[in-house]
Amino acid sequence: MTQQPTAYTDPVFLESQEARPIRILAEYLEPLRRFREQRIQDTVVFFGSARVDSRERAQRALRTLRARGVRDADEQFEREITQTRKALEWARYYEDARELARLLTAWSRTLESDNHRFVVTSGGGPGIMEAANRGAHEAGGKTIGLNIRLPFEQGANPYISDGLHFEFHYFFMRKFWFAYLAKALVIFPGGFGTMDELFEILTLVQTDKLSKQIDVVLYGSEYWSEVLNLKPMGDWGAIAEQDLDLLHHCDTPKDAFEHLRANLIARHLEPASAQEAAAPGIARTRG
């Protein structure tokens, strides 16, 4: 008689609809185990567009396009030139995210703690995510990537620390880990995904579902002043006037770093509780 696998080693069962609760629980327990092993106490999360490229790559793309040459009235070429020039302008946000992550990580490494504090965390992919992981890596610190499996494969960037690259199937479990350890959030220019992640955190803060104060920085006033105007929500009474104070605007890595450092020191560098010291990653959210 063929020996049957136990339920917890049966891949057919584990991939079945009935085993969905087990898969969800695994996306909580497996990251928790690794965060404990690596002594990750808390994080600073960077969000932003995956479509932003580094200045070096954007400049190279523009040089390559110009070298190709163009005939008169080549509308396609003109569109490509315009798009590539815009990408070069957009690249400043990549470099700023990289520098801010470097500054934060260099500072966090000077803190006296048995655990790793304020670890730069991103969605693990390209663009602003790569820039944040890259800056932290260049400062010699640990850095986390919470990647999501998509049909068009968002590959992980190469700057995530060993053992801190996570692959999620469920968006809501990935969002959970973004919020669970975060002490600050930095929102660079981005699209629908960035907005979704921003409002997820703002809603948790507004409804008192986080057990700690979290600092939210909107980086890039030129972009966000056009894209996001929340004042009418306060004027109409849809949110409280003080809810607008949850967002702080910054436009340089230095200003953003000084703001974040001041708030992290004031709010989160009190002596850690015995529970936090023994089990980093525990008791970070309500419920």
The CATH number of 39-53+92-269, from 3.40.50.450, 3.40.50.11140, 3.90.226.10, 3.40.50.720, is: 3.40.50.450
| pLDDT at residue 271, rounded to an integer | 59
pLDDT score at 63: 79
Q: How confident is the chain (287 residues) per 10-residue block, as mean pLDDT?
A: 84 94 97 97 96 84 71 65 76 96 98 96 96 98 93 82 96 95 96 94 88 90 94 92 91 98 91 47 47
> Can you give the chain as a three-state secondary structure string?
CCCCCCHHHCHHHHCCHHHHHHHHHHHHHHHHHHHHHCCECCEEEEECCCCCCCHHHHHHHHHHHHHHCCCCCCHHHHHHHHHHHHHHHHHHHHHHHHHHHHHHHHHHCCCCCCCECCEEEECCCCCHHHHHHHHHHHCCCCEEEEEECCCCCCCCCCCCCCCCEEEECCHHHHHHHHHHCEEEEEECCCCHHHHHHHHHHHHHHHCCCECCCCEEEEECHHHHHHHCCCHHHHHHCCCCHHHHHHEEEECCHHHHHHHHHHHHHHHHCCCCCHHHHHCCCCCCECC
> Where in the chain are the domains?
39-53+92-269
pLDDT at 77: 67
- pLDDT attached to residue 56: 86
The pLDDT score that the predictor gives to residue 272 is 52
Identify the pLDDT of residue 79.
72
